[in-house]
Structure 1
Amino acid sequence: MTITDTSPTTTAEEFGERIFDAVLGAQLVQAAYLGDRLGYYRVLAAEPSTPPELAARTGTAERYAREWLEHQAVAGVLTVDDPAAAPAERRFRLPAGHAEVLTDVLSPNHVLPLARFVGGAGLHLDALVGAYRSGGGVSWSQLGADVREGQGAANRPLFLGALPREYLPSIPEIRAVLERGGRVADVGCGYGWSSIGIALAHPGVTVDGYDVDGPSIDVARQNAVEAGVSDRVRFHCADAATAEGRFDLVAAFECVHDMSDPVPVLATMRRIAAPDGVVLVVDERVAETFTAPGDEVEQLMYGWSITCCLPDGLAHPGSVGTGTVMRPDTLRRYARDAGFADIEVLPVDDMFFRFYRLG
């Protein structure tokens, strides 16, 4: 992580260069969004293509395919065999390392979904301008499939990989639950990858996932079937307050900051946890206090907040308006209001997420 110089002492020329670089980056994100949606990257990962071949294989117009390919080559994403060849005969290749980032959905380096997320949120800038003026919001359902799918895909590598296989077993109390085949509640489960990842990594465990977003639950159920764990993972389009019985582990993965009123949800998590159960919150690893300038993670989280998480939270009446940047003291206050004595920051080392035990 680095700290970007955003101090007022930066000269006009230096700051102008920074904005110009950002414009180039924004154009690259837009191109990546197109490459994702149109299937260009998946085709190029399988085999090099000329513009006519790429257009034919993806059902798109050749002239657009050619311009996109040339942009990607100029931007250093693709290589081209013979730049001097006739435009229709130039063959473009996707290097293996780039292909992993752009097409390997299980790789920790697969950051293409972030471009899908940013591109999707950008479709709603007019609505966001209105929300900023009125104090209202732009809800998760309004933001639509691009943002929903981008979020799910961005978390998938972690939720199927390090989270259930390294991070959770590193916490002794949770490792004991997983080893004895305990019962887990996944609050705010989204596309269900956290629930599915836990079930895949720990065959004795049963998981109940809860989310109030119907389209997300529909996808989660299909994902569980395809992963072969639908017999041990059940998804409910409902508030976790409807949960029956007690759970050995009650977890909320990267969702508390999105809740318009997190205190009742945390109180529910406390209520449905078994007497010796563990209540876990995993949320953004932002700085403990506000400082400026901030590192790249802090900048990223504020970027999500101003375009998605805060507008979604404020779309609901009576929202506390947390936003993405939920610092430990904020969660501590919510937890105490929900009846917990305190929170404990657990020693899990991840660049983007902080692990809290509530007790």
Structure 2
Amino acid sequence: MGTTDDTQALADRLLRHAGAALEIYTVYLGERLGLYRALAEQGPATSAELAERTGTAERYVREWLEHQAASGLLDVDDTTAEAAVRRFSLPPAFVPVLADPDDVRYQAHQGVEIARAGRRLPELVEAFRTGDAPPPLPWEPEGRAEWNRPLFLNLLAKSWLPAIPELDRRLRSDPPARLADVACGTGWAAIAIAQAYPRVTIDGYDLDEDAVAAARANAEEAGVSDRVTFSVVDAAQLKQTGYDLVTIIEALHDMSRPVEALQGVRDMLADDGTVLVVDELVEDEFTAPASDIERYHYSWSVLSCLPDAMGDAETAATGAVMRPSTLRRYATEAGFSDVRPLPILNDYLRFYLLIP
């Protein structure tokens, strides 16, 4: 039974978390308006100077700067100076986290993610009552956060795939390997693989037309569009065959019918082909209270991953917390002979090979 101290501790916790949520919304503003990047690239600034650099209103920027300094995210040269002449700077140690989207430690994308999650809450309340799915979020105004972009460009093909010797060998050998990236999103996994393995060709598939359009533009800008293509198609309906490797990265738990999707993927494989599934790093069994990372995945499951999979009468309703035993069951039902967990270490993701 809880005590009075427990009651106060919970009240204090929620107050701290409210402050943290509001801080994330100010990070959203900094990311969307380019405020962090302007400080990182052009150096310290007064509120008027930063407003001039970013095409924003000085009074809004001044309040944002003061909040960021009060929160310890920015430095200020003289707290006693008049507001208009105070100069603010982004500490060098914070640049990778707030202003460099190519760094694996970049976290300013959280502002976009949390803002988008909050935008659908009224519809989610109704979905809880009906059991249906809330309407999909529009792509605009900010698009989806590309939180996995630096992970893919820095780790996927430079560290993770080379750690799987049989896959690495096939991607480097003749005849050139054919890959499919199912639920490819904005295309960064396929792009990263194409850059690291210049002989392969890759087809990316996704249901989101906006994501596929972004993926095509990203591939063109990255200079790999001659070997990487993207199409809007349901994985369960794919008819292509002969793929040496199919990847499903951070997506299987979102699919309404994962067994059907895996059956379709299995049919796409060449005789010696295999499937790489990368999904959330969750505990093997339910525990409570849980670790911070388990709570993080559960929060996204409640707010986004599970709701997105509802609305289908035959949905598996997996949610973000897809435990290894659940994946193994899906794979077995789809006709795979084995699921092999891989010893690749990551703070958020777990890796599996599915053997036909």
Partner of 1:207: 202
The one-letter code of the counterpart of 2:228 is V
- Secondary structure of the residue that 2:229 maps to in structure 1? strand
- In 2, the alpha carbon distance for the partners of 1:72 and 1:287 equals 35
Measured in 2, the distance between the counterparts of 1:130 and 1:55 equals 40
Residue 261 of structure 2 corresponds to residue 268 of structure 1: no
Question: Equivalences for 1:79-228 in 2 at 5 Å?
Answer: 79-139=75-135, 141-142=136-137, 144-145=139-140, 149-150=144-145, 153-180=146-173, 181-228=176-223
In structure 2, distance between residues paired with 1:129 and 1:144? 21
The unaligned stretches of length 5 or more in structure 1 are: 1-6
* Residues 101-144 of structure 1: per-residue CA shift (max 9 Å, x gap): 111111111011122101111111111111111111125x3264
Which deviates further from its counterpart, 199-208 or 213-222? 199-208
Matches of 1:292 and 1:145, distance apart in 2: 37
2:9 aligned partner, one-letter code: E
Aligned to 1:305: 301
Structure 1 residues 319, 146: CA separation in 2 closer, same or farther (over 3 Å shift)?
Answer: farther
SS of aligned partner of 1:56: helix
Q: Which has the higher contact order (CA 8 A, sep 6+)?
A: 1
TM-score (norm 1): 0.94
Counterpart code for 2:168: R
- The alignment partner of 1:283 has SS state of strand
Contact 1:285 1:353 in 2 (8 A): yes
CA shift for structure 1 position 147: 8.0
Shift of 1:172: 1.9
C-alpha distance in 1 between matches for 2:324 and 2:238: 28
Query: What is residue 4 of structure 1 aligned with on the other side?
Result: none
Superposed CA RMSD in Å reads: 1.6
Deviation of 1:264 after TM superposition, in Å, equals: 1.1
The alignment status of 1:351 with 2:347, answered yes or no, reads yes
- Aligned position for 1:235: 230
Residue deviations 1:232-286 (CA, integer Å, cap 9, x gap): 1111111233342310001100100000111111001111111111111111110
Q: Confirm or deny: 8 A CA contact 2:139 2:210 kept in the other structure.
A: no
2:254 paired residue number: 258
Distance in 1, Cα, partners of 2:160 & 2:148: 14
Offset from partner CA, 1:143-199 (integer Å, 9 cap, x none) = 64478521xx21011111111111111112211221113111100000000000000
Cα pair 2:241 2:267 within 8 Å, conserved: no
Q: SS at 1:44's partner residue?
A: helix
1:297 and 1:19 map into 2 onto residues whose CA distance is 18
Identity among equivalent positions (%) equals 46
Q: 1:319 to 1:8 in 2, by over 3 A?
A: farther
Q: Tell me the CA shift for residue 19 of structure 1.
A: 1.4
2: CA distance, partners of 1:148 / 1:278: 32
Letter in 2 for 1:43: A
Task: Give the drift of 1:315.
Answer: 3.5
Q: Which one of the candidate residues 19, 40, 45 is aligned to 1:45?
A: 40
CA contact (8 A) 1:177 1:249 kept: no
Change (3 A) 1:249 1:146: farther
How far apart in 2 are the matches of 1:206 and 1:321? Answer: 33
Distance 1:98 1:287 in 2: 31
Q: 1:217 to 1:112 in 2, by over 3 A?
A: same
User: 1 CA distance for matches of 2:67 and 2:52?
Assistant: 19
Q: Distance in 2 between matches of 1:145 and 1:348?
A: 35
Distance between the aligned counterparts of 2:263 and 2:240, measured in 1? 15
Q: Which runs of 5+ in 2 are unaligned?
A: none
1:310: Cα distance to partner? 0.7
C-alpha spacing 1:21/1:178, structure 2 compared with 1 (3 Å): same
The answer to whether the 8 A contact 1:124-1:143 is kept is: no
Q: How many residues align?
A: 350
Separation in structure 1 between the aligned mates of residue 118 and residue 142 of structure 2, nearest angstrom: 10
- Match of residue 63 from structure 2: 67
TM-score normalized with structure 2 length: 0.94
Q: Distance in 2 between matches of 1:127 and 1:76?
A: 35
The worse-fitting range, judged by mean Cα deviation, of 192-201 and 349-358 is: 349-358
